[in-house]
Chain A
Amino acid sequence: MDPTGTGVMGAVFNLNHPAHVVHWHFISLSVSNVVVMALMLIVFAVAITVPFPGALRRRGGAS
């Protein structure tokens, strides 16, 4: 039996290699960091565009 549990909970992606890196001039970013930054931008855009549940009703009731 594996006491660490790593055999059961292996990574979804194969991580047994050096990180992939995005190079652009002097900028050097790991792909995982680029993905997180892109996700933050997407979540920010969604947060300011998608209406909040019940927001129109509350504003209508307040006026």
Chain B
Amino acid sequence: MSTHSPERSWTVRVREAGVGALPPEKLLPDSQPTYVASWIYVFGVASLASLAVIIGSGMILTLKGPAWWHYTGVGHFFNSVHLWAVELFFFVMVVHLWGKYWMAAWRGGRTRVWVTGAVTFLIAVPCALTGYVSQQNFDAQWISTQAKDAMNSVGIGAFFNLTNFGQMYSFHVLLLPLAVVALVVAHVLLVRRHGVVPPFELDGRALAVVPAPDGAPDAPVPTGAQS
């Protein structure tokens, strides 16, 4: 029989910290604020959708191998789905990034939301590059021999060798996707915790000053009180 009290158990402390940081109604909310009803807010979830297609098609390609994706019709199809999902991922992620940059999405204590999103974009670039050099064709050879000069010029060619297929393939199917998915999960959980960033005019309302009726000093009105 255990002599530890339940309060001291690490599982209890982790659970309490998790629920405290992200209670169920925040993790899976019933609704979103009305300002989220705008096309510019669609590109975040579009990035998630294209990432899901990338991961799914990539897993099928990994299972079947280069001969399948080069020499069969179905293999060509999944190869194309994987490529175009990546193109779409970067397309919508860049529009998402522009939208969040111009609305200063790091406002209101959302610094970590912005940083995880920006780092995801930076990690996704070598994730795509290692995919292009893992194709096992002349295109991959051309890209790897051109890109290795860039790596050598910044002194990382010895550790990140574009012409080493085994290393590039490992980076592409395991290490970098793991980093991207982990960052995306953290990003989404942080968005859930802090809420979607409001437009500037609503943020301004939070600091709007109204005259006090009884001659008392004017006071700021909290966001939502004027809706």
Contact = CB atoms under 8 A, between A and B. Distances in A.
A40 B95 contact: yes
A36 B91 contact: yes
Contact of A63 (B39, B72, B91, B227): B227
Q: Which secondary structure characterizes the binding site on chain B?
A: helix
A1 B72 CA distance: 12
Contacts of A5: 72-73, 76
Interface string A5-38: 1101100000000000000000000000000100
A39 B95 CA distance: 10
Interface in A36-63: 36, 39-40, 43-44, 46-48, 50, 52, 54-55, 58-59, 62-63
B71 A3 contact: yes
Nearest to A61: B34
Interface string B92-114: 00110011000000000000000
A9 B37 contact: no
A2 to B, nearest CB: 9
B171 interface: no
Nearest to A50: B39
Given A9-B76, A44-B95, A62 B39 contact: no
23 contacts: A3-B71, A3-B73, A4-B72, A5-B72, A5-B73, A5-B76, A39-B91, A40-B91, A40-B95, A46-B39, A47-B39, A47-B40, A47-B42, A47-B43, A48-B39, A48-B40, A48-B99, A52-B39, A55-B34, A58-B34, A59-B34, A59-B35, A63-B227
Interface of B: 34-35, 37-40, 42-43, 70-73, 76, 87, 91, 94-95, 98-99, 227
Interface of A: 3-6, 8-9, 36, 39-40, 43-44, 46-48, 50, 52, 54-55, 58-59, 62-63
Given A6-B76, A40-B94, 14 more contacts: A3-B73, A4-B70, A5-B73, A5-B76, A36-B87, A39-B91, A44-B98, A47-B39, A47-B42, A48-B38, A48-B40, A50-B39, A52-B38, A58-B37
